[in-house]
Structure 1
Amino acid sequence: MKNYLLTVKQILVVSSLIFLVAGCEKSLERQVDGQPGFRVRSDFSAPLNADHGWAGALNENVTVEADQPFRIRVEVEHSAQMAESQQYRLEYRRNNGDWLPIEAHDFPHPQREMDVDFSLLTDGDQSSGCMVATGSPSNMIVVAEQHDQMLRINAGDETFSGFFPAPWEVTELAAQFRLPAQSCNGIAFVVGYVDPDNYCRVSLNPTAQTLNISQIIDGDEETCGETHAVIPGGAWLEIEIEIARNAIEVSFQDGAVELEAALRRPIVLSGPGFQVPSQTQLDFQSIALAGEAKTPRVSIVACSAYEQGTATEDLLTGSRQPFQAGVGISLAEKTPQWDGENAHTEYEWPLVIRRYADGAVTNNQDDTFEFRLVNADGVVQTLSHTSVVRLAIPPGHVGGTFIENPGRIGPWQASNGDLYFMMEPAETDNVFMMMKSTDDGRTWQEVDGEHRPQTDDLESVDSRLVGDTIHILHQVTRSTRYHAFRTSDHPSQPDSWAVCDEVAGTATAIAQTASMVVRSDGTVVAFYLGQEKIHFSTRKKNGTWSAMRTIDGGRRPNQAGPQAVLGNDDVIHLAYYGIDGTIWYRRLLANGTLTPRQAIATGAGTTRAEYGAVLPLIYNADKDEVVIIYRLASDLLWERRVTSTGVVSDATLVTDMKVVIDAVDSQQAGAHAVLNGDTVHVLFIDAKSRSILSTNDSDGWQPPTIQVGNILGSWVRGTLYTRKDGVRVYGYVYDAGSDGGAGMNRFGELVLTEDVAD
């Protein structure tokens, strides 16, 4: 888990922070007559109290880009209706719709995980992540033992209670802890805490040898569930507590003891904590908190330019009341308590508006988003002008989440020039989306979302465009499915799903890697990985699938990473990886005969990270030759070619630059290749810079040139086609730095200069 309490991962800004100042309203500087105002900051990396990096003037509504974090700074004045102390939260509405609270979900990775790592503290430090509720803070200290750091609590004469606050609702607590040897007292973990008379407790009692779940309501404790549990002292113990509003589930000692209990009354999902009885010592080795990750339309994100709670200075010139410091917000849904009688303060909120969100909902060009502050009593804080931003979708921005283990996934070009690409809307919502562009990749929209496949989680997808239909192979853990999509040039049912969720095979995959071809008679041959071997099956013209066959069923090594391409006379060329680091090649003839395998390479590595060592294959029909590009454990790309007679060429180094491998657990080399005439073009992600570079084998492999720089590249896939204006291009979609999250898919193209007929 990521350590959000002690460190904040820097958010990589992958494209220039372009905020068009021509927004919903324009002015050079707005006069506000002493009323609280707001200002939008476009420079996400600017220090909290820097007076620069603004997108517009005070109270100026501006335009922001989708999937590009920005910040809003607002002034708040004390009002007579306020309680003595108050917290604030942020709400938004889209296109004059309903007002909704803004939750804290980071970008581009929406994970809600915090790991309190005591090894990062120094012997003698107090834990900065724990808030003491009862007992003396001096009774909690970090100590070293055999080079390990831990948090030690000596409760003293009263019960010691501590809490680990989180900026979001907590649904899971995991801890490693230790009670002293011969200890008679135990420990209780506290969840759903409201006040001393209302909370839930998970108690471990070493004397009674019980694990107990109870709920305290208005001071009265009621047992909800109890089971036998041996709780040894002097040993490190593990507990995981899953928390829902109406139930608690506990796993102790890696599932050796389990207990689930329904609660009498729903609870809040506040930051959990612990209780240590008086005269008891307790050691914590680690504590981890998790919440339900989501990808909403709008969310509060982390900002690495400052720490959560950093004091603000008086930058805005709206309010005329005396100033009291507020805070900069970072991945938190509420401000701290503020008591500002006869004063004003400033808060700065980091936000992102996404292109696609959970439910595959879409934010579109020129959508408007209004923002307002609401206090805990539900009172809306008055600003002199409503804060409104207008959304822009940058040219070439696709958004969404890349397929985890992509084969050929587009962009495919229909005969009328429309482009198609497949992806998920968000990491937290893994539905199948078919994206379409009618303007050479500048803008993208999902088509026929109402009838998309029900098989979600795009773990491995490969596809082929044949005529007006995109044939798709989709492997998940326990099955491989076939889908088909009609493109916009289909004569009767354009832009529609034709087939969804056909079962092509039921092999349970150790890792999802699939490939396919479509033969000239319309039959589809699907290759997919099981636990040890590559299997294949054929879809007949009547829509039924043949029985599954296995490649090298009784021979070593085991296999992974099949890549198939159709050749002349319906011969299928197949290359794949052996788990001993070998690369193999063979053919599947039109009559179903498999030719003997041929060794292509050794030294490709022996871990799962290398399963996708072979790139999608290239076939040169004029030469009846297959081009196999693969990555070895040296992180370098190599190429060999196999002729129609089975002669394998010498291995040739494609580039001396190392290519990224297994980015975000993709088990693939970050590279792709196409054939233009007789020239092979390769796009690859440099392992050091994570930029996308290109090379080609015209007169030998050429020195690489940068195509997309200053990104944290993870995936790239593309195809060759001629644009509507007649220009030949290698169009591609790449992930520009989501780290497996969402919002970073971009379209690019490499213009090819070779004079090649369509």
Structure 2
Amino acid sequence: MKYNLIFALFLMTLLLTACTKQPAKMDGRGKPGFRVRSDFAATLNSEVGWAGALNENVPIYADQPFRIRFELERPAGPTSGRQFRLQYRLNSGVWTNVEAHDFPHPERYISMNFKQLEAGTQPEGWTVVKGNSSELVVVTDNHQNALRAKSDKEPLVWLFTPPWEATEIASQFRLAPENHRGIAFVVGYADISNYCLVQLEPTPGTIRVSHIIDGIERILVERTTVITTGQWLEIEIETENRRIEINFQNDMLEMDVKLDTDIPHSKLGFQVPSNSTIDFRKFSFNGEAKTPRISIVTCPAYEHGMSTNDLLKGSAAPFQAGTGISFVEFTPVWSGANVHGEFEWPVVIRRFADGAVTNNEGDTFEFRMIDTEGTALGNEHNPALRLSIPLGHVGGTFVETPGRIGPWQASNGNLYFIMEPTETDNMFMMIKSTDNGRTWYEMDGANRPRTNDLESVDSRLLDNTIHIIHQVTQSVRYHTFRTSDHPTHPDTWAIRDELAGSVNAIAQNASMVVRSDGSIVAFYLGTEKIHYSIRSPEGTWSQVKTLDLDLQPNQAGPQAVLGANDIIHLAYYGTDGTIWYRRFLPDGTFTSRQQVATGAGTSRAEYGAVLPLLFIPHKNEVVIIYRLLSGNLWERRIVNDAPPTDAVMVTDLRVVTDAVDSHQAGADAAIDGETVYAIFIAESSRSILSTHDNGGWQPPKLRVDNILGSWVRGNVYTRKDGMRVYGYIYDAGSDGGTGMNRFSELVLNGR
């Protein structure tokens, strides 16, 4: 009996054990952890797309967005809501907040027009701080949606909180015909007793700026203007430090007001006076665009604030959903006690940042989450990720309207290229590669030219010096850079910011040649005509001269190449859609112009219809390749003093033009011996293709696919291993932003 009882108890224990739910296996020893996701397109709660295991410090790649998913625990205690943000530190340095700046284009911009909202609904992101919250709804007016704000006896104040610091609010609004008290826009809001107002009153017709401090209003300035009711009006209000700048009705009235204190970059909104009605058709909010080392970016794979599932299995605490973050610096409020949640952050680490700051191979970036009071959350496992620069990756920002900007090859095989570090900090950079384009670094950054904004740049390599002409809006500058084979000053800037000419440019188009005696001739665009100036061998620039001052059409897009006997061949665009050619002789005179083509288009987008010119010395032949409005590339040639040859189509594919306001065809031309190459970006696919004229123009071959190509520039040279190549750098789809420049080669031996 005793043994039967023992056996029965043992059997019951086994049954209870089998029926009891075992806790899930914890890979992180019961501690909150992290995991890195490399598949940026994976959905928020996908089980795939990871770069490594839980708590694995994986390599990450420059200018390639990735995601970090954190587990976060809240101990037992108060359940009040808290918000959190992301921090990083570089190579065990100082912890720094990670800001939200998008990639590849670092815009901070939100626009809302209410078209997609149903009548009777309220838009997201707005909060009422005074008045009846039900009196802000979408209405349909003349088959168009508008946001209607209506107040009763009490004024109505609504605020919008952008996900980052905002410096500008713009609006299209309409005052109801019976509204004589107007509207006020709110900026610099700290609380209901401290903010700034820009008040518009149709009667008597004034715009007034006031500062409310501790509930007391102080009027700063007042201006008179016409403010109509019943019509759509526009206003832009920008804040910077202590200034408020106002633009009403597209420059009809501009105001600039200075306060005694800095203006907070926080909530912005509007105030409706009592018993008034206002319709809004559009709002937009802008913040200061920056390109930092690292930033939080938009993730199109999920909506910001979407709830997370329990994926990581590190923490042993009960799960309470966190959120996915997208282009926002703070998490939504998260409440609870004795629970854990998961938060996923989309992040990019850039190769080059504002100030030409550089992130290098092997740099380590450590991440953590903190609360709004700056308290670290004490996770045992924080990611410490090592940066890798993919071979051939360049990063940075392309010259807006480039001529020949490299890669130039020095006599020792080193390559050089001209670009900017970022779109938001337009510094002049000369970068260098010592390994056939696999890796690139800036040279002599401490002494770079002071003239920023590489709007149009052309250059030539002569011996061990790169000569550069650089046009900005009101001037043309000349720089020189000494390459690594220079006998006394390798890899250094020499001449910087030398004034070559002063003109006001409607768009920037510049080209140059260096003649045999060391003199330089620069061609560049003004408001209507092409101008030119000459630098003597002794280093003095001539007065600016104008090409065909009294002849039509106006001109743009000069391209110049040096021919035999110091004769300069010049081709350019006419604003009536024509293409022209002439020669600039050593005695300082021009030959008569010859029309090369018509039908190139008449908008500013076609200013750069002519590609960089080519010259074949032993034939004394210049090759002119140009794009017509049809999108096709064509070529004509001039041999000696003969008329241009018949036009020949280079490719029947449409070539992109004016990508990201470049005002030029997305194509380049190069020559190897007698063989001419055209490298271009197809308009339909934005891929890069190439063709050559050996045996007649050949069907194009695909070179780079799956990109959104915008620019391409390169040169022909021989590598140290004897391989003849066209080395080129292209923008793979930055949309005028940063981080998409890449290097590639087209091998010419045997084609």
**What TM bracket, shorter-length normalisation?**
over 0.9
SS at match of 1:158: coil
Match of 2:362 in 1: 366
1:158 matches 2:154 = yes
SS in 2 for 1:500: coil
1:184 is paired with a residue of what secondary structure?
coil
The total of aligned residue pairs comes to: 727
Higher mean Cα deviation, 254-263 or 320-329? 254-263
Deviations 1:565-615 (A, max 9, x none): 001111100000000000000001111121001110000000000000000
Amino acid at match of 1:359: G
Aligned to 2:561: 565
Amino acid at match of 1:226: E
Q: Does structure 2 conserve the Cα–Cα contact (< 8 Å) formed by 1:411 and 1:719?
A: yes
Cα shift at 1:270: 1.1
In 2: Cα distance, 1:502 partner to 1:110 partner: 32
| CA distance in structure 2 between the aligned counterparts of 1:554 and 1:754, rounded to whole angstroms | 50
Q: TM-score, normalised by structure 2?
A: 0.95
Determine whether 1:118 maps to 2:114: yes
Q: 1:227 is matched by which residue type in structure 2? A: R
The aligned amino acid for 2:404 is R
Quote the Cα distance in structure 2 between the aligned partners of 1:151 and 1:273: 13
Query: Which of 284, 287, 290 is the equivalent residue of 2:283?
Result: 287
Q: State the partner residue of 2:21.
A: none
Q: Which residue pairs with 1:745 in the alignment?
A: 741
Distance in 1 between the 2:308 and 2:65 partners?
20
Q: Secondary structure at the match of 1:359?
A: helix
Cα deviation for residue 503 of structure 1 reads 0.8
Greater shift, 678-687 or 150-159, is seen at 150-159
Aligned equivalents of 1:405, 1:54: Cα separation in 2: 40
Residue in 2 aligned with 1:631?
627
Post-superposition shift, 1:265? 3.8
Residue of structure 2 in register with 1:308 after alignment: 304
What is the CA–CA distance in structure 2 between the aligned matches of 1:30 and 1:709, rounded to whole Å?
43
CA–CA separation in structure 2 for the residues paired with 1:84 and 1:30: 28
Per the TM alignment, residue 160 of structure 1 is displaced from its structure 2 partner at its CA by 2.2
Q: Is 1:661 aligned to 2:657, yes or no?
A: yes
Match of 2:637 among 641, 644, 661: 641
Q: What is the SS of the residue equivalent to 2:267? A: coil
Does residue 575 (structure 1) correspond to residue 602 (structure 2)? The answer is no
| Structure 2 residue 615 is matched with structure 1 residue 622 | no
Contact 2:26 2:314 in 1 (8 A): no
Change (3 A) 1:81 1:737: farther
The 8 Å contact of residues 401 and 425 in structure 1, kept in 2 or not, is answered as yes
d(CA) in 2 for partners of 1:668 and 1:147? 40
Aligned to 1:611: 607
Q: Which amino acid aligns with 2:187?
A: V
CA contact (8 A) 1:225 1:260 kept: no
Q: Structure 1 pair 539/560, CA: closer, same or farther in 2 (3 Å)?
A: same
Correspondence for 1:478: 474
Deviations for 1:146-166, whole angstroms, at most 9, x for unmatched residues?
A: 343221122234332222221
Greater alpha carbon shift after TM alignment, 541-550 vs 218-227: 218-227
**1:418-457 deviations in Å (ceiling 9; x for gaps):** 0000000000000100000000000000001111100110
Q: How far does residue 80 in structure 1 lie from its aligned partner after superposition?
A: 5.8
- Aligned to 1:609, the other structure's residue is in SS state helix
Distance 1:437 1:603, change over 3 A: same
Query: Per the alignment, in what secondary structure is the counterpart of residue 664 of structure 1?
Result: helix
The correspondence for 2:392, drawn from 391, 396, 404, is: 396
Deviations 1:634-682 (Å, cap 9, x if unpaired)?
0000011111122211111111111000000001100001111111111
Specify the structure having the higher radius of gyration (Cα): 2
For residues 304 and 42 of structure 1, what CA distance do their matches in structure 2 show?
A: 14
Report the AA paired with residue 617 of structure 1. Answer: L
Q: Equivalents in 2 of 1:458, 1:30: separation in Å?
A: 54
Query: How far did residue 550 of structure 1 move?
Result: 1.4
Measure the CA separation in 2 of the matches of 1:87 and 1:680. 61
| 1:478-497 aligned within 5 A | 478-497=474-493
- How many Å separate the matches in 2 of 1:190 and 1:593? 62
Alignment counterpart, residue 708 of structure 2, candidates 705, 712, 725: 712
Contact kept, 8 Å, 1:32 with 1:384, in 2: the verdict is no
CA distance in 1, matches of 2:87, 2:721: 45
1:49 corresponds to which of 40, 45, 50:
45
Is 1:331 aligned with 2:327? yes
Distance (whole Å) between structure 1 residues aligned to residue 365 and residue 76 of structure 2: 29
Matches within 5 A, 1:137-216: 137-216=133-212
Per-residue deviation, 1:729: 0.2
Contact 2:180 2:202 in 1 (8 A): yes
Specify whether residues 590 and 385 from structure 1 end up closer, same or farther in structure 2 by C-alpha distance, changes over 3 A only.
same
RMSD value, Cα: 1.6
Shift of residue 221 of structure 1?
A: 2.6
Deviations 1:89-143 (A, max 9, x none): 1111101111111100000000111111223434444323533334444322223
**1:191 Cα shift?**
1.5
Q: Deviations over 1:146-201 (max 9, x none)?
A: 34322112223433222222111111111111111132322111112222222222
Q: Partner residue of 1:243?
A: 239
For the residue of structure 2 that corresponds to 1:138, the secondary structure is: helix
1:376 Cα deviation after fit: 1.1
**Deviation larger for 680-689 or 127-136:** 127-136
> Cα 1:689–1:82, aligned 2, differ >3 Å: closer, same or farther?
farther
C-alpha distance in structure 2 between counterparts of 1:557 and 1:256, whole Å: 34
Aligned mates of 2:617, 2:632 — CA distance in 1: 27
* Aligned pairs for 1:45-124 within 5 A: 45-79=41-75, 84-124=80-120
Match of 2:524 among 515, 525, 528: 528
Change (3 A) 1:138 1:467: same
1:723 aligned to which of 719, 726, 731: 719
After superposing the two structures, state which structure 1 stretch, 703-712 or 337-346, moved more: 337-346
Say yes or no: does 1:507 pair with 2:503. yes
Q: Which residue of 2 aligns with 1:7?
A: none
The answer to whether the aligner puts 1:297 opposite 2:297 as a matched pair is no
2:256 maps to amino acid:
E
SS in 2 for 1:201: strand
Q: What amino acid maps onto 1:500 in structure 2?
A: R
- 2-structure distance, mates of 1:43, 1:273: 38
The equivalent residue for 2:410 is 414
**Cα offset, 1:508, TM superposition:** 1.1
Per the alignment, do residues 323 and 172 of structure 1 end up closer, same or farther by CA in structure 2, a change over 3 Å counting?
A: same
Stretches (4+) displaced over 6 A = none
Alpha-carbon distance between aligned partners in 1 of 2:581 and 2:750, rounded to the nearest angstrom = 30
* CA deviation string 1:711-748 (max 9, x = no partner): 00000000000011110000000000000000000000
| Identity in percent | 61
Structure 1: any 5+ residue segments left out of the alignment? 1-28
Contact 1:226 1:259 in 2 (8 A): no
Contact 2:33-2:315 within 8 A present in 1 as well: yes
> Is contact 2:239-2:263 (8 Å) kept?
no
Give the deviation of 1:415 after TM superposition. 0.3
Report the CA distance shift for 1:167/1:535 in structure 2 as closer, same or farther (over 3 A): same
Letter in 2 for 1:444: W
Given candidates 457, 466, 472, the residue that maps to 1:461 is 457
> 2: CA distance between counterparts of 1:124 and 1:626?
67
Find the counterpart in structure 2 of residue 4 from structure 1: none
CA deviation after TM superposition for structure 1 residue 234, in Å: 1.3
Q: Which residue of 2 aligns with 1:694?
A: 690
Shift in Å at residue 754 of structure 1? 4.5
State the alpha-carbon separation in 1 of the partners of residues 341 and 217 from structure 2: 42
Contact 2:623–2:635 (Cα < 8 Å) also in 1: yes
Summarize the alignment of residues 344-363 of structure 1 with structure 2, pairs less than 5 Å apart: 344-363=340-359
Shift of 1:622: 1.3
Consecutive unaligned residues in structure 2, runs of 5 or more? 1-24
- Answer whether contact 2:79 2:336 (CA < 8 A) is retained: no
